[in-house]
Amino acid sequence: GRLEAVTQQMGYHPQYLDSFLKTQHYLMHMDGPLPFDCRHYIAIMAAARHQCRYLVNLHVLQFLRAGGDPQWLRGLEFIPPKLRNLNEINKILAHRPWLITKEHIEKLLKISEWSWSLAELVHAVVLLAHCHALASFVFGCGCEQDEGLGGRGSLKPLSLGNQCFCEATAGNSYSQELLRINRKRSLDSCMELDSLRERMQRIHVETEGREEMRLLQQDREEGEEQGAEMGVQGGSSYGTPGWLSPLADTDGVVTGATNLACYMQDPDFGYQDFARRDEDQTQVFRVQDYSWEDHGFSLVNRLYSDIGHLLDEKFRMVDGLQSSAMAKRQGCEPSVFKRGIWNYIHCMFGIRYDDYDYAEVNQLLERMLKVYIKTVTCYPEKTNSEMFDRFWKQFKHSEKVHVNLLILEARMQAELLYALQAITQYMI
């Protein structure tokens, strides 16, 4: 039931929630180039870049339910080289997507027996961008502070009074059906936890047994004195290994991951202001030269069937959400206000629109809002629940969620534009 917190927040905008759930279900559970266990492990790698325990814990369980090898949960050193090679592009996409080049793409596609196919790589890139952006939403709306099914932090009960007027529509049966299915899956997950826990305990016992036999054999070979020394060293490693911590504690209760560092390399690599980049780095990305509508959509849809339509629907859905109350408070038209937020986010990633006057951003967005948007977009792990409550105190909860949906989609599109452009350059 851990997805319930995200569903609860997005539920303030049911039309968007429908589109989001369809896309996520297609990415994770429908036919595609990547095996199901690899999809969830890629999601773990992506979420770990922003230290998002909420998403890591969710995908650890789904990884195991998909038949994933529990040894992989020990960290990147224990996964196949092909999957581990994705780490570099994951790191760059998460923090400085403007650094991605066709050389990164070529390296992944031409590594002997560990090479990726174009279709697999596009699926992986969409997964990475999806999870990076979703981590921003999780932190931005306070879902990361959620504890158990009750929740805390910024989570509030979903009620008609807190919804935007445009979304308080009757007869949205598809959304209700998705929520019903999601709740049923939550119950199914709870019923499977006992068997999952038994499976992990059995694997743990077997692993301990093999390790003990190995140590005993080594003791006999190296002599009694060195064997005693090995016994002391080995004794401290017995018990519950750290890599099992995401799954069971001493009371046998499923708990959260305690150490996300094992899922990433170069943890100090983070966002840097694009405006302060070195002169020899990538120049400004101009949408007039490469856009989602004219270039990215057709490429991704050709290599990963139908995902382009789902992503395009999601981009259009968030753009179509009404924000008249927010815009009225800022003294402008809804479309002008939303475009200001969208273009500000893209600007932080070096993406510019030649037909936009960026002086509008400072006129439309007050300083506290800009600080909040930049934090959630560029380093969401630094966001706390107080920030959500502090910005725009006069706005409804649903309006704040709307801002976070704009952040999610603008960030995801920015990452995809850079990655898909690099793939296009490689193909040329």
Q: Residue type at 47? A: A
Whether the predicted pLDDT of 148 surpasses 60: no
For the segment 279-299, the average pLDDT, to the nearest whole number, is 85
Give 84-112 pLDDT, tens digit per residue. Answer: 999 999 999 999 999 999 999 999 998 77
Mean pLDDT of the chain: 77
Q: What are the start-end ranges of the H helices in 273-396?
A: 297-303, 307-320, 324-330, 334-348, 359-364, 367-378, 385-390
Q: What is the pLDDT of residue 233?
A: 34
For the segment 326-342, the average pLDDT, to the nearest whole number, is 80
Determine the Cα–Cα distance for residues 64 and 81; give it in Å rounded to an integer: 20
CA distances from 241 to 134, 212, 292 (A): 30, 14, 45
pTM here is 0.76
CA distances from 251 to 201, 245, 316, 384, 387 (A): 12, 12, 47, 30, 35
pLDDT band at 283 (very low <50, low <70, confident <90, very high): confident
For the segment 115-144, the average pLDDT, to the nearest whole number, is 95
Pairing verdict, β 285-286 and 351-352:
parallel
Give 174-183 pLDDT, tens digit per residue. Answer: 445 544 554 4
Whether the predicted pLDDT of 294 surpasses 80: yes
Establish whether 52 is a catalytic residue.
Answer: yes
Q: Which of 38, 52, 164, 378 is catalytic?
A: 52
Give 220-277 pLDDT, tens digit per residue. Answer: 454 444 333 333 333 332 232 222 233 333 333 333 445 899 999 999 999 988 866 5
Give 156-197 pLDDT, tens digit per residue. Answer: 433 333 333 233 333 344 445 544 554 444 444 444 444 544
* H/E run at residue 148: none
For the segment 17-31, the average pLDDT, to the nearest whole number, is 96
Q: What is the pLDDT of residue 388?
A: 75
3-state DSSP helix/strand/coil % of the chain, to nearest 5: 70, 0, 30
pLDDT band at 206 (very low <50, low <70, confident <90, very high): low
Name the more confident of 79 and 398: 79
